[in-house]
Structure 1
Amino acid sequence: MSRALVIQLARLGDLLQSLPAITQLHARYPETQFDLLCPSHLSEVGRLFPGIEKVLEWDGAAWQRRALAAQQDLRAEHLVEVAASLTALAPDPYDCAYVLNQHRRALVAGALLARKVKGPFLHGPLGETLTPWAAYVRDVAQRRLGQRVHLADAFCGLCGVSPPGCVVMLDPPAVRLPGDLEPIGKQGAPWIALIVGAGEAERFVPMEVWRRWMTSFLASMPQGRVVLVGTERERAAEMQASLPSSALGRIWDTTGRTSLSQLAAVLARCHRVIGSDTGPLHLAAALGRPVIGLYFARARVHETGPYGFHHVVWQAEGLERKNETWPIDETIAAIHEQGHHAPVGWSVWTSHCDTWGAYYAPVGQSAIPPREREVLWHELEPALS
């Protein structure tokens, strides 16, 4: 049996965006064993991926220490340590590595762990010529072009496979939650998860916005409950500081208390998840939860909107700044299923999926698939289109 390694060394959101590509690789090569190399702290999520036999853990901090030591004074023992680390990761080389990052560490890992590499560059890790899909993704990121091919589908292109044409979901992990968190999702409804922070500070929804949101939501839904998720415990505590005690009795604060597997279990129990463009939002979407996204600060719905059906994203028109007006009442109305409206400075979109992958259409308009996606697939990957 041939063996292949998928390499994704970026953040949680990028790892989850890799799921369609992994799904399609497994479907195209059913006799191949697919393993995954991802950052150590994300390995719990990687083990939830269907089609992945084994997860290899990349200790980014250790590799950075080795690189710094080698830069200062390259010695033979450094090379011995590197060789030993690689052997521990993969004693036998893989037949092929699919590299989904343009980071040099991912490219080098692919070259060292596999006989053949398919990824961003045409001529190995030291090459300069990008593949067509890698060049497209780079141009979108650098020149802020209008992106209509979703990043997850572009990952499919990088691997030489077409989008799955359907939504692949993760099964919630069977893990035990801390005892005081066990009631989540069991009494009252709806349970709404709020993602407190984000991977980048510029994507933090202001705390005052979250305070106003919780106050309005709990007042409008007597049986509603709020679950705070993320790692930012101090921020979550400050968000709750000025709320009345009656509201606090309906808020479950899980921040900083759950592993990634436990976070997945918590999100799977919630009726909706709301937050900015960040890893837990994409984890919720992958678990089949309908999500509400607040996209601003360079986050763009067509590029990284939650993958799947029935997701709603409010997109700020000024991407480089946070709007003074936030869709607080509008998102609550959406939970009430009272329609989707956008305040001044925002537009609102809903998610869809077809043969060419995920796409978003404006609320209130026909969900007509954008023609640009099909054109790009014919241009960049004619053998698949």
Structure 2
Amino acid sequence: MKQYLVIQVARFGDLVQTKRLIASLTARGDGDVHVLVDKSLKSLAESVYPQAIIHGITAHATALDAKSAMRAILIDNRKAFDDLASIGFDEVYNLNFSPLGFRIAALFDPETVHGHRWKNGQEIIPEWAAMAMRWTGNRRLGINIADFWAAYTSPMLPGPQINPPAHPKGGGPGIVLAGRESRRSLPPQELAAVTAVLAARHPGPVLLLGSASEASTGREVMNCMPTALRERTRNLAGKTDWKELVEIVDSLDVLVTPDTGTMHLAAHLGTPVQAFFLSSAWCFETGPYGEGHTVYQAVQDCLPCLETAPCPYRIKCLTPFSDSAFPRFIATGKPEILPQGVTVFETAFDPLGLTFRPTHGIDMEQEARGAFRRFLGSHLGVWDAAIHPFDTTLAEQLHQPKDWTTKPKKTVY
């Protein structure tokens, strides 16, 4: 039997978004699929990927001081690296553009490595990733990261087969209190207003979800609620382990969330997502994967931005979500009251993978994005260029001469 290894030592959301690649390798049916993760995510990975063999290493060591972190990464991981090197993998998929990712890739014959490789002491960036670096000059035309990673293999499982269609589970609404990037999150008052609308639609408890550091945010949200809603609400921030989080999210009627790992977990489980994307979050890159999800996307000219840089516009992308008309729109669906600066998108699929169709508001890049997706689909061999021709200027912009020597992958849809 063949042995496949997927290296995904990034964080929670990235782990779940690797599903299309892992599912595509598993569907081959000719070997074992191994997944390497940060050991803090090992139990979650075992839940999300029960068909895979999960390996854990210390990749982040965020709870350790600098000296202990260095020891954990360079010394304590040695046995895990030795064990991996001894397996004799037929194919290795390194998804992480990071110093650690390249060093892990160096354990293996570079000819077996897809993605970022280490060869003769040099970091080798694959052509597919190099193309992506070129198109990130206009991130509004990007593709979902789950589809990007899956394109390292062939054939890819069709996008609609990856996650189950979403449907309410009967357990009431869940509210994710904050994302890892602070500017992506709604303030407590706005979050409480949205929660009130969805709680009126879904009976049962209202569950606030997050890490221990967000427990105080949960209390602020509850303080903004009317008394009756507060009495239905439980602040579970910092009170769930991975197993409990999976069970809770799998029981919900809906998950209200910014762009978070919990959002991707909900999509994996088929729990409906109502997501708000602003600041650096862009649904076409990292939106919930599957049928039956909704994203309220901020569409200011400056978006999506880089959160590492200060915002010169006083986070104006938050303004539509702070408008009292926003929760009223969620309650009524009346297009005339949707605040300017938000477009409502529903998840959809095309031959390339996940995309979004606008249901309210304007998608100014819809035509350009369609041309971009046709080009990438033709490059990968999943879109018939004879039937759906693409704009050749895109090839001139995104290809380098040596890219033309790369044979397109073939995927059956």
TM-score, normalised to structure 1, is 0.80
Structure 2 distance, partners of 1:340, 1:356, is: 33
Structure 2 distance, partners of 1:340, 1:350, is: 18
Q: For 1:338-363, what per-residue CA distance to the aligned partner results, in whole angstroms no more than 9, with x for missing partners?
A: 77973111111111123321111111
1:356 to 352, 356, 367: 352
SS of equivalent to 2:338: coil
Structure 2 distance, partners of 1:211, 1:19, is: 32
- List alignment gaps of at least 5 residues for structure 2: 306-314, 382-407
Q: For 1:20-62, what per-residue CA distance to the aligned partner results, in whole angstroms no more than 9, with x for missing partners?
A: 11111222x3111001111112222211344743111121245
Structure 2 distance, partners of 1:21, 1:88, is: 23
Partner residue, 1:273: 255
Partner residue, 1:38: 37
Deviation at 1:98, TM superposition (A): 0.7
Structure 2 distance, partners of 1:245, 1:169, is: 37
Structure 2 distance, partners of 1:345, 1:241, is: 28
Q: 1:264 to 1:336 in 2, by over 3 A?
A: farther
**RMSD (Å) for aligned C-alpha atoms:** 3.6
Deviation at 1:288, TM superposition (A): 0.4
Partner residue, 1:153: 147
Deviation at 1:116, TM superposition (A): 4.7
1:229 to 200, 209, 234: 209
Contact 2:173 2:254 in 1 (8 A): yes
SS of equivalent to 2:160: coil
1:281-296 maps to which residues of 2 (within 5 A)? 281-296=263-278
Partner residue, 1:261: 243
Is the aligned partner of 1:300 residue 2:264?
A: no
Contact 2:176 2:258 in 1 (8 A): yes
Deviation at 1:200, TM superposition (A): 1.5
Partner residue, 1:56: 55
Q: 1:89 to 1:16 in 2, by over 3 A?
A: same
1:166 to 157, 160, 167: 160
Deviation at 1:222, TM superposition (A): 8.4
Structure 2 distance, partners of 1:273, 1:340, is: 25
2:188 to 207, 227, 242: 207
Deviates more, 1:313-322 or 1:111-120: 111-120
Q: 1:24 to 1:80 in 2, by over 3 A?
A: closer
2:299 to 308, 312, 317: 317
Structure 2 distance, partners of 1:59, 1:340, is: 51
Deviation at 1:118, TM superposition (A): 2.7
Deviates more, 1:113-122 or 1:126-135: 113-122
SS of equivalent to 1:349: strand
Amino acid at match of 1:95: D
Amino acid at match of 1:167: Q
Partner residue, 1:106: 101
Contact 1:134 1:158 in 2 (8 A): no
Q: 1:52 to 1:374 in 2, by over 3 A?
A: farther
Deviation at 1:263, TM superposition (A): 0.9
Structure 1 distance, partners of 2:75, 2:198, is: 58
The structure in which a higher percent of residues are helix is 2
Amino acid at match of 2:274: I
Structure 2 distance, partners of 1:315, 1:79, is: 41
Q: 1:126 to 1:267 in 2, by over 3 A?
A: farther
Q: 1:80 to 1:329 in 2, by over 3 A?
A: closer
Deviation at 1:247, TM superposition (A): 2.0
How many residue pairs get aligned? The number is: 361
Deviation at 1:238, TM superposition (A): 1.9
Identity %: 23
SS of equivalent to 2:175: strand
Structure 1 distance, partners of 2:33, 2:120, is: 21
Partner residue, 2:404: none
Q: For 1:215-238, what per-residue CA distance to the aligned partner results, in whole angstroms no more than 9, with x for missing partners?
A: 4555x4584642111111111112
Contact 2:93 2:113 in 1 (8 A): yes
Structure 1 distance, partners of 2:295, 2:334, is: 16
Structure 2 distance, partners of 1:64, 1:114, is: 33
- List alignment gaps of at least 5 residues for structure 1: 172-183
Partner residue, 2:384: none
TM-score, normalised to structure 2, is 0.75
Amino acid at match of 1:54: I
Partner residue, 2:374: 374
Contact 2:158 2:351 in 1 (8 A): yes
Deviates more, 1:13-22 or 1:161-170: 161-170
Q: For 1:113-168, what per-residue CA distance to the aligned partner results, in whole angstroms no more than 9, with x for missing partners?
A: 56754333466495455323212333344x24332422111111123443523232
Q: For 1:255-313, what per-residue CA distance to the aligned partner results, in whole angstroms no more than 9, with x for missing partners?
A: 11111221111111111111111111111111101111111111111111111112111
